[in-house]
């Protein structure tokens, strides 16, 4: 399996198969796998939503632009009418949503999803929560064509939970010169000797 990362990926070798009817939609197969950088979970429900960083946005934009180009190039074979790149972009729904404050990507959950902690132990889905930092393996296996638009189908099939290391508490006590309990190491011994001298009267 070829796994693309934000540091090293290749969208130029992507190809689209001719859309085939599957139930009420048409599907074009594509095979592209991504290992994300460390990202934060925005929401966990029936899907998992990730908050993206700039490098992840760039990778996905390059992927989307390549798919849009392929739709245009193959339009005479795929559709009843040829499409320009601009036409293809109008019907294509991008891989993530971008707002002024953040970019988010919504992912379907693979039925065989595997979740691991730092010890490579497997976890359950309910161990994930909003705000967790994760690294994910994502796969786009198909482009789905609806009546008015098409979109990539992204799913997550492996997750590595990046657990925070426990921070050692900082020593905050102010040293007190009058506090000599450490210096008088024999104090406890002297008190013990005094206790030994006390004789308990038998009843």
> Per-residue pLDDT averaged across 165-183, rounded?
61
pLDDT of residue 175: 73
Residue 16 vs residue 194, higher pLDDT: 16
pLDDT tens, residue by residue, 126-147: 999 999 999 999 999 999 999 9
Report residue 2's pLDDT band, with 50, 70 and 90 as the boundaries: confident
pLDDT of residue 174: 72
Give the predicted TM-score (pTM) of the model. Answer: 0.79
pLDDT tens, residue by residue, 12-51: 999 999 999 998 999 999 999 999 999 999 999 999 999 9
Task: Please tell me the distance from the alpha carbon of residue 57 to that of residue 51, in angstroms, as a whole number.
Answer: 10
């Amino acid at each position: 399996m070829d796994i693309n990362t934000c540091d090293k990926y290749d969208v130029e070798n992507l190809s689209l198969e001719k859309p085939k009817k599957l139930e009420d939609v048409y599907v074009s197969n594509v095979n592209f796998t991504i290992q994300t950088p460390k990202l934060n979970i925005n929401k966990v429900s029936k899907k998992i939503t990730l908050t993206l960083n700039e490098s992840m946005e760039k990778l996905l934009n390059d992927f989307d632009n390549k798919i849009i180009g392929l739709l245009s190039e193959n339009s005479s074979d795929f559709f009843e009418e040829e499409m320009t790149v601009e036409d293809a972009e109008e019907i294509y729904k991008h891989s993530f949503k971008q707002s002024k404050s953040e970019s988010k990507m919504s992912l379907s959950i693979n039925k065989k999803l595997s979740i691991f902690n730092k010890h490579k132990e497997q976890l359950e889905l309910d161990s994930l929560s909003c705000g967790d930092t994760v690294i994910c393996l994502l796969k786009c296996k198909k482009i789905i064509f609806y009546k008015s638009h098409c979109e990539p189908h992204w799913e997550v099939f492996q997750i590595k939970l990046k657990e925070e290391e426990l921070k050692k508490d900082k020593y905050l006590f102010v040293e007190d010169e009058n506090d000599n309990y450490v210096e008088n190491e024999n104090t406890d011994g002297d008190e013990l000797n005094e206790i030994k001298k006390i004789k308990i009267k038998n009843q």
